Amino acid sequence: MCDTLVALGNSTKDGSVIFAKNSDRDPNEAHELVIVPRTRHPEGSLLRCTYVEISQVPETYAVLLAKPFWIWGAEMGANEHGVVIGNEAVFTKIPPGKEPGMIGMDLLRLALERADTARNAVTVITQLLEQYGQSGNCGFAHKFYYHNSYLIADPQEAWVLETADRHWAAEQVKDIRTISNRITIGNKFDLASNGLVDYAIERGWCKSRDDFDFGHCYNDFILTRFSDSYKRYCRTTDILSAGRGNIGVETMISVLRDHGPENTNQYSPGRGLSGADVCKHASFGPIRIDQSTGSMISHLKPGMHTHWLTGTSAPCTGVFKPAWLDSELPDIDPAPQGKYDDQSLWWRHEVLHRTVLQDYQMRLNKYKDERDQLEKDFLHEAQQVMSASCEERQAFTARCFEKAGQATEQWIEQVRDLPIRGGQPILHRRAWQSFNQQADFQRYLA
């Protein structure tokens, strides 16, 4: 389960477009950051996606991807033209295909590689969707099948694209917009697939075009309800609405770390067997078996696109760091896998994250203020280097990743020294014992 949001220039404090997303996946489904350069391809060449092979285009754009390590596609990413996309799992009355095929994350990457505007990305995805459909397992630790929705933006505009099998509708964003794990487009949209309304009428989901509502007709009631997507959709919309005209990168960081309107000092990741917040934490299943495994914010100005990445799970425990697509990411190899690796950025942060989970409030409060100040420094300094050379910005990115890594190691030692007050609910403890055993991780929580 995920949440994606955008604010256009008429709603941000500096007139830019700002995009943000949390990627919610299995707890051990490590999140990888990758930059793929612009590439020319031989005529007639083929491209292998996660499961299927398709024709390659003559040239693909440079892309920054934030992705599950085992999938060719991505949950979120950006390209050299400032097109950014995030996807959501949606559950519809049309059963998702289980045979290996084109998955929604592959469609996202293909659009980034082939589209130079948000509107063109809508065209790329819908044409591929109508040609190949969407099907195949999208889960790492367990089988998971779904259809997809997308929030697509560039420095000028944004679109919401929501799908049900090969059917789809698209809506141009006017100011702020968020999506979650449900079809949110109703009876007003700007583009749609042929037969979208007729298909619903034939199945008795509505009587005519006049009473057609995409979400009402196509959403699967049970899975959509248990995803808690409506609560999260309302929460992200309310926060952006309240900040309209003054939304900045800091706003989006706060939203991606949000645990709901309740007193944050009382929040506990181990509380409850159901429900989901924007910053999601895994617990006892089957409803709470995924969590926020990576986060991305894109600050889009014409000619300057700054991306803020955690590259780690649980944004409430991690650090957002800047990157630019015309330079390189720092050396964060090796690419993470589904088992603990002390050389991996993602897994080294898991030591901090999973240690904090043992007594969330006390341990997070130990370093939260220092973390927030570090991010403020990064945000301030990023403004100073935006007009600098590619090499200077690349060096700045490397310094930010290095500082965040050093701080993470210090915070691990600080929180480990704290006593654990009381205890987490037994089912929550058992769930994390299982996650840790599966990742060969248990011995690193001493």
3-state helix, strand, coil in the chain (%, to 5): 35, 20, 45
Question: What is the pairing mode between strands 176-179 and 167-172?
Answer: unpaired
Q: Which whole number is the average pLDDT over 141-170?
A: 97
Q: How far is CA 354 from CA 83, 155, 314, 316, 332, in A?
A: 34, 37, 10, 12, 21
Q: What single DSSP character describes residue 169?
A: E
Q: How far is CA 176 from CA 45, 117, 239, 315, 435, in A?
A: 40, 18, 10, 22, 37
Asked if 245 contacts 333 with a C-beta cutoff of 8 angstroms, the reply is no
- Banded model confidence at residue 446, pLDDT cuts 50, 70, 90: low
Percent of the chain with pLDDT over 90: 89
Query: So where are the chain's domains?
Result: 3-398
Q: How far is CA 269 from CA 8, 229, 358, in A?
A: 32, 18, 10
| pLDDT surpasses 80 at 264 | no
Rounded CA-CA distance 347/351 in Å is 7
How high is the pLDDT of residue 235?
A: 96
| pLDDT surpasses 70 at 248 | yes
Q: pLDDT per residue over 290-340, tens digit each? A: 999 999 999 999 999 999 999 999 999 999 999 999 998 998 778 999 999
| pLDDT surpasses 80 at 263 | no
234 part of the active site:
no
- Banded model confidence at residue 184, pLDDT cuts 50, 70, 90: very high
Bridge partner residues of 47 (DSSP):
54
Q: Is the pTM here over 0.75, yes or no?
A: yes
HSE of 258, CA atoms in CB hemisphere, 13 A: 28
| pLDDT surpasses 70 at 173 | yes
3-398 has which CATH code?
3.60.60.10
Active-site annotation holder among 2, 138, 217, 400: 2
How high is the pLDDT of residue 223?
A: 85
Q: pLDDT per residue over 36-54, tens digit each? A: 999 999 999 999 999 999 9
Q: How many CB atoms lie within 10 A of CB 331?
A: 9
| pLDDT surpasses 80 at 422 | no
How high is the pLDDT of residue 265?
A: 80
Q: pLDDT per residue over 82-137, tens digit each? A: 999 999 999 999 999 999 999 999 999 999 999 999 999 999 999 999 999 999 99
H or E stretch covering 39: strand 39-40
How high is the pLDDT of residue 442?
A: 76
